[in-house]
Amino acid sequence: MGLTLFDLTGQVALVTGSTHGLGMAMAEGLGKVGATLIVNGNSSQEKIDQAVQHYTDMGITAKGYKFDVTDEDAVREAIAKITSEVGTIDILVNNAGIIKRTPLEEMEVAAFKEVIDVDLVSPFIVSKHVVKGMIARKKGKIINICSMMSALGRNTVGAYAAAKGGLKMLTQNMATEWAKHNIQVNGIGPGYFATSQTAPIRVDGHPFNDFIVNRTPAAKWGDPSDLKGAAIFLASRASDFVNGHILYVDGGILATIGKPSNEN
């Protein structure tokens, strides 16, 4: 009985930015419990096709759609096409995002706005067009991928932190407005994860690696697979009375002030 709470068979899940990294890990999790995946990216059709093949090889039903999540006309057309070709979207994971590491006093306004557009405005755009179908059916799940930077600041990521902090509040406001339609809107706040992007700094002796390992009570970087359970929970019936919550998957970083570097 309990296992059926997490069964997503027959449901369609759109995961933006799901051709690689953490988005791919979460999509794998949803697909493995029965969801049909809608794979989205905007870099190249080849990359989308490769991702679809990756999911297919895992026994997951997946379809790929290339569109820019910051372009409302493109999003509107894509959602209509997905609905026509695959079915109505039951689960939306707003994962697409970028980061630019630049001190604020040196950052160009255009670069700041680009981060805001991708990380904050695009979840609004995609949700706006997906939620209409959810409202009509009186059910749906929206998961916004927030960050520890939704709660904390750090040098050189001011634009990213501003966007992710805004996404946290957007998540809460979406939940406030759409709960009456039996739609749950929650967020996941990943901590520091072992990905291809972090590989160069995840070596013993690297200052940032030592900082993260020392700062995290679990004393390690997260594995992308660690996000699968959180995504499945927030996409499934198991979270039907969870709304406006940010689930931090961070190995305990936000639970502690940290410890001195010479403390075991």
**Catalytic residue numbers, as ranges:** 160
Rounded to whole angstroms, the Cα distance separating 54 from 153 reads 35
Q: What contacts 258, CB < 8 A, 6 or more positions away?
A: 214, 215
Element (H, E) at 26: helix 21-32
Question: Strand 246-249 and strand 91-94: pairing?
Answer: unpaired
117 burial level (CB within 10 Å; 0-12, 13-18, 19+): middle
Q: Look up residue 184 and give its two tokens.
A: 């749950």
Q: Look up residue 238 and give its two tokens.
A: 């198991």
Rg (CA), the chain: 18
Beta-bridge partners for 12: 36
Element (H, E) at 142: strand 140-145
Rounded to whole angstroms, the Cα distance separating 144 from 164 reads 10
Would the CA dihedral through 175, 176, 177, 181 be positive or negative? positive
Quote the DSSP letter at residue 117.
I
Rounded to whole angstroms, the Cα distance separating 251 from 176 reads 29
79 burial level (CB within 10 Å; 0-12, 13-18, 19+): buried
